[in-house]
Amino acid sequence: MGTAPGILALAGSTRTDSFNKRLVKIAAAGARAAGAEVTLIDLRDYPLPVYDGDLETKEGLPGNARKLKDLFLANQGLLISAPEYNSSITAVLKNTIDWVSRPVPGEAPLNCFDGKVAALMSASPGALGGLRGLVHVRAILQNIRVLTIPEQVAVSNAGEAFAPDGSLKDAKQRAAVEALGAKVAQVLSRLRG
């Protein structure tokens, strides 16, 4: 991986035309421009059963949970665009976090999250842009030992906010989202000394 900080970028949506997938891509570009090595994934490519303790006891971690764990372990930073469902985190994002948090034999608790640096963002067709959901995502990440930077962006009226090429129409908003990615890259570089 060289000396560039590694950042994993993902949206809490599997929807093909997801606004949050578009948004996290912009933050990822900001992180790359700041010198990070970004791995952008689509949770659609890592389908998982709903977490079930009996299933885990019987079969261990599903293959996709292991793949995701490896991605979390390989990266020090996280960029998460989290849609808001009923004022909170989406099931697919929470289920991903739950599976990834399960230790494999010999692994320290929360090894995949402990000490990571994250930035959060959201996009919604609604007027609040998913802001209420971010409160919950932030609380979850804090409790699993992720350092989440204070800056965040919630894009409201998402149906009108994006240009056909996936970019944000508003230059100030685009810069704010790119800055989230850049900030995570900078914090990671500083932490390394």
SS percent in the chain: helix, strand, coil, step 5? 45, 20, 35
Q: Rounded to whole angstroms, what are the CA distances from 53 to 50, 61, 72?
A: 10, 10, 21
Q: Is 125 in the site for ligand FMN (CB under 6 A)?
A: yes
Report DSSP state, residue 12.
Answer: S
Size of the site for ligand FMN (CB under 6 A): 16
Closest CB to ligand FMN among residues 173, 189: 173
Q: Is 44 in the site for ligand FMN (CB under 6 A)?
A: no
Q: Which of residues 52-111 bind ligand FMN (CB under 6 A)?
A: 83-87
Q: How far apart are CA 130 and CA 138, in angstroms?
A: 13
Q: Which of residues 134-193 bind ligand FMN (CB under 6 A)?
A: none
Closest CB to ligand FMN among residues 55, 91: 91
Which of 8, 9, 13, 61 is in the footprint of ligand FMN by CB under 6 A?
13
> Residue 85 has which token pair?
């469902």
Q: How far apart are CA 51 and CA 143, in angstroms?
A: 19
Whether 154 and 130 have beta carbons less than 8 Å apart is answered as yes
Closest CB to ligand FMN among residues 25, 69: 25
Q: Is 124 in the site for ligand FMN (CB under 6 A)?
A: yes
Closest CB to ligand FMN among residues 34, 155: 155
Identity of the amino acid at 148: T
Q: Which residues bind ligand FMN (CB under 6 A)?
A: 11, 13, 15, 18-20, 83-87, 124-126, 128, 130
